[in-house]
Amino acid sequence: MQTAKNQTAWFEISVETLTTTQAEAELAELAETLHRHDELYHGKDQPEISDADYDALVRRNHAIETRFPELVRVDSPSRRVGATPSSGFRKTKHSVPMLSLGNAFDQQDIRDFVDGLRNFMRELNDPAMPIELVAEPKIDGLSLSIRFENGQLISAATRGNGTEGEDVTENVRTIVDIPKTLLGEDWPNLIEIRGEVYMSDDDFLTLNARQSSLGENTFANPRNAAAGSLRQLDPAMTAQRPLRFFAYAWGEVSEPFAKTQWEARQKLLAWGFKLNQPARHVSVTGGDFAELFGYYDDIQNRRAGLGFSIDGIVIKVNRLDWQSRLGFVSRSPRWAIAWKFPPEQAVTEVCSITVQVGRTGKITPVANLAPVSVGGVMVSRATLHNQDEIERKDIREGDAVVIQRAGDVIPQVVGVVLEKRPVSSLPYQFPGTCPECGEPLVRNEGKADTFCVNGLNCPAQAMERLIHFVSRDAFDIEGLGIKNIELFFANGLVRSPVDIFTLEARDGENQPRLREWEGWGELSARKLFDAIERQRTIPLDRFIFALGIPQVGQSTARLLARHYLSLGHWRDCMELAENQTSEAYEELVSINGMGQNMAEDILNFFRETQNLEVLNQLTLPQNGKNPLLSVTDFTPAALTSAIAGKTVVFTGTLETLSRNEAKARAESLGANVAGSVSKKTDYVIVGADAGSKEKKARDLGLKILSEQEWLALIGE
């Protein structure tokens, strides 16, 4: 059976022709698919798809969200960064999150980026106002944060999931490009220098030649080589690898040290760091992008001769005070963007088309390709998304197809080379029954996706839900990964989440004890049972994520946990929300970013008797015994602002700030920004030409603030 770990969705139907239902379905799959590939790339240094494929998925997600803003999911890939840290290193929290960049792929994307800056800050609304930018080569390496106190290197950590990374301090001390003591005397007493660990092209080739001569595995590309070398458990091994480092940013800092990005780069250079060169200070005024576009073309032309791998350029707002005001949107800064280079292409053959069943029952067709080298990497698979995708491109078994990639394995099918089609070729016939359970497949009218609706009675869906339940961002049970879930499922040992937490109690019932299984022993069985025991207590947000509710990813799960605080309260409110005229339903859909579609998926989960039975068996006492699990209440981070934990709604046109900047500022101070007014709204901030929201707020007797009163409340 093909499992979810092999899935990568490609969405080639024009965004302009998507129905709302199709868009909603695609955003759901994009969230799940991109989360998996974030884990593989950032967490394991084992990407299964190319940079171009990943970027295309991100770009598709952005395009759909732009056309359907009401469908933007709280667990959207645009709100995530990185992956959970590896268990091989001590974990360390970043004092300032390490986030990633949004992507641009053409000149129009860059124009849109600049338009976004002008729309966010009122003083930039005038196109005649020049915007100074700094453009740099985008290094393809591993992000690193290095903490210096009183000029001395204290610690270093990888990005990890953006909030928590791996402590690689001793390994970093072996990298010659990283000073152990900052040069000069004008550095802050505390500063986290951030940048990229990489390997030069020549050093990469030399390393691979040495690996090959020793009969050891070679690396697919310099990025993988750098990541694997930095994350050696033995620092002596890292010291033998030719690692380099470019500095280009900073995290926590005890005092300001520059007014512009360009000045900050010069400070980093003076302190002993190497910079990603050649960089350029450019300006955009009105529609004149000549300097910026010229830099992009220049770097692309010089790419092969730089001596290190890059996959585009990075563009940053130069003024640091503007960067501070622009802030962040989800996982990315508003003041910076990565402009990627175009992907590479090749031609190969579709050997066969197979289908696989996902956790939600979605049927995904996969093109199995004759292996072909693209940019030095062998690729052999491409996921075709759905029946419409196959029919639109008329992809058939035996066809020669154009594929494209930029760095790693699974390509995008661009199109068919019709002149090479075999005479005996026949259109692909999409199956009518589930390949796993044999039940008829269903495709609802107006929807692009086909589903097996047999639910947990379909073994593929049941197993995929178990895989999700124990995944790293859910219960994260060491030793219970995909391979062992498949093994236990096939042998009938684990068929539901409840079975996981009764595994030791049932050991030896109706079959040999686990320690007697092939490949197992007393020690390995004991380690698994102990790992399960350690995970009997779990925070509410991770538990909600583990349930695998459609559209409820990590961010949405955390949002629900933050709003409802306890499992019992959440369940009670979801029961009341079944009545769509109730206050509970109004409260659910008014959560910022929720919407009716996502709310319906959550309520559907609670409508299924089987789901409620699993919840009860996991979290409630059974037969006089203690619950199998303890789900801890959500504890919000301590914030001292006057609006921390308050629910606010903005309406009308504000004078001092744009609406987007006002919302961003409120969220940064710990407020919950809602899209509609309800009885639980704490403040309604009213600007000019406010409409029905102000009227409803007055009818409900809510606290209404003018823009100036609001600014005074938050201390601005």
In this structure, the answer to whether residues 139 and 215 fall within a common structural domain is: yes
The tens digit of pLDDT for each residue in 452-487 reads 988 878 999 999 999 999 988 889 888 898 889 999
The larger pLDDT score, comparing residue 164 to residue 178, is at 178
Domain boundary residue, one of 632, 666, 689: 632
In this structure, the answer to whether residues 430 and 307 fall within a common structural domain is: no
pLDDT of residue 5: 35
pLDDT of residue 407: 41
In this structure, the answer to whether residues 368 and 429 fall within a common structural domain is: yes
Full strand arrangement of the beta sheet holding 336-340: 102-104, 336-340, 310-317, 131-139, 280-284
Tokens of residue 97, six digits: 């999150």
Say which range, 141-145, 310-314, 332-336, 548-552, has the weakest mean pLDDT.
548-552
Give 634: exposed, middle or buried? Use CB within 10 Å, 0-12, 13-18, 19+.
Answer: buried
Say which range, 123-127, 424-428, 582-586, has the weakest mean pLDDT.
123-127
Let me know: does 558 contact 637? Beta carbons within 8 Å.
no
Q: How far is CA 545 from each of CA 93, 163, 549, rounded to the nearest angstrom?
A: 21, 18, 7
CATH number of the domain enclosing 671: 3.40.50.10190
Task: Assess if residue 458 is contained within a domain.
Answer: no
pLDDT of residue 161: 76
Task: Assess if residue 559 is contained within a domain.
Answer: yes
In this structure, the answer to whether residues 164 and 181 fall within a common structural domain is: yes
pLDDT of residue 680: 83
CATH number of the domain enclosing 303: 3.30.470.30
pLDDT of residue 9: 39
Distance CA 542, CA 562 (A): 12
pLDDT of residue 187: 95
Say which range, 262-266, 489-493, 686-690, 705-709, has the weakest mean pLDDT.
686-690
| 11 has a pLDDT exceeding 70 | no
Task: Report the amino acid identity of residue 36.
Answer: R
pLDDT of residue 405: 66
pLDDT of residue 50: 67
Q: How far is CA 279 from each of CA 152, 313, 536, 560, 693, rounded to the nearest angstrom?
A: 28, 9, 51, 43, 48
Let me know: does 241 contact 199? Beta carbons within 8 Å.
yes
pLDDT of residue 636: 63
pLDDT of residue 559: 82
In this structure, the answer to whether residues 315 and 424 fall within a common structural domain is: no
Please tell me which of 88-92, 130-134, 338-342, 679-683 the model is most confident about, judged by mean pLDDT.
130-134
Number of domains in the chain: 5
* Marked catalytic residue, from 93, 138, 340, 696: 138
The tens digit of pLDDT for each residue in 341-356 reads 887 788 999 999 999 9
In this structure, the answer to whether residues 417 and 519 fall within a common structural domain is: no
| 4 has a pLDDT exceeding 50 | no
Instruction: Please give the DSSP secondary-structure letter assigned to residue 593.
Output: T
Task: Assess if residue 461 is contained within a domain.
Answer: no
pLDDT of residue 8: 37
| 64 has a pLDDT exceeding 50 | yes
Task: Assess if residue 637 is contained within a domain.
Answer: no
Neighbours of 595 (CB within 10 A): 21
> For the residues 521-527, what does the mean pLDDT come to?
92
CATH number of the domain enclosing 623: 1.10.150.20
pLDDT of residue 186: 92
| 3 has a pLDDT exceeding 80 | no
The tens digit of pLDDT for each residue in 396-446 reads 999 999 988 644 445 778 899 999 999 999 999 999 999 999 999 999 888
| 2 has a pLDDT exceeding 50 | no
pLDDT of residue 437: 93
CATH number of the domain enclosing 354: 2.40.50.140
Task: Assess if residue 480 is contained within a domain.
Answer: yes
> For the residues 697-701, what does the mean pLDDT come to?
91
Say which range, 87-96, 262-271, 529-538, 543-552, has the weakest mean pLDDT.
87-96
Of the chain, the percentage scoring pLDDT greater than 70 comes to 91
| 43 has a pLDDT exceeding 70 | no
Paired strand residues for 339: 104, 313
pLDDT of residue 63: 79
Say which range, 83-97, 154-168, 423-437, has the weakest mean pLDDT.
83-97
Distance CA 205, CA 218 (A): 10
Please tell me which of 69-73, 197-201, 294-298, 329-333 the model is most confident about, judged by mean pLDDT.
294-298
Domain boundary residue, one of 535, 558, 583: 535
Task: Report the amino acid identity of residue 244.
Answer: R
In this structure, the answer to whether residues 355 and 475 fall within a common structural domain is: no
Give 292: exposed, middle or buried? Use CB within 10 Å, 0-12, 13-18, 19+.
Answer: buried
Let me know: does 422 contact 400? Beta carbons within 8 Å.
no
Task: Assess if residue 445 is contained within a domain.
Answer: yes
pLDDT of residue 126: 84
Task: Assess if residue 172 is contained within a domain.
Answer: yes
Q: How far is CA 375 from each of CA 50, 313, 405, rounded to the nearest angstrom?
A: 11, 20, 8
Q: Which residue has the tokens 């928590």?
A: 164
| 635 has a pLDDT exceeding 80 | no
Task: Assess if residue 639 is contained within a domain.
Answer: no
| 218 has a pLDDT exceeding 60 | yes
> For the residues 56-68, what does the mean pLDDT come to?
79
**Domain membership of residue 655 as a residue range:** 647-713
| 273 has a pLDDT exceeding 90 | yes
Domain boundary residue, one of 519, 535, 551: 535
Please tell me which of 93-102, 202-211, 324-333, 598-607 the model is most confident about, judged by mean pLDDT.
598-607
| 697 has a pLDDT exceeding 50 | yes
pLDDT of residue 14: 73
pLDDT of residue 269: 96
Let me know: does 274 contact 177? Beta carbons within 8 Å.
yes
Those residues with Cβ within 8 angstroms of residue 584's Cβ, 6 or more apart along the chain or in another chain: 573, 574, 576, 577
In this structure, the answer to whether residues 95 and 237 fall within a common structural domain is: yes
Q: Kindly report the average pLDDT of the chain as a whole number.
A: 86
In this structure, the answer to whether residues 316 and 440 fall within a common structural domain is: no
> For the residues 307-335, what does the mean pLDDT come to?
90
pLDDT of residue 6: 35
| 83 has a pLDDT exceeding 50 | no
In this structure, the answer to whether residues 273 and 172 fall within a common structural domain is: yes
> For the residues 659-670, what does the mean pLDDT come to?
81
Active site residue 138: yes
CATH number of the domain enclosing 524: 1.10.150
Banded pLDDT at 65 (limits 50, 70, 90): confident
Coil, strand, or helix at residue 68? coil
In this structure, the answer to whether residues 334 and 349 fall within a common structural domain is: no
How many residues are recorded in the chain?
716
Distance CA 657, CA 302 (A): 42
pLDDT of residue 602: 94
pLDDT of residue 7: 35
In this structure, the answer to whether residues 180 and 206 fall within a common structural domain is: yes
Say which range, 273-282, 667-676, 684-693, has the weakest mean pLDDT.
667-676
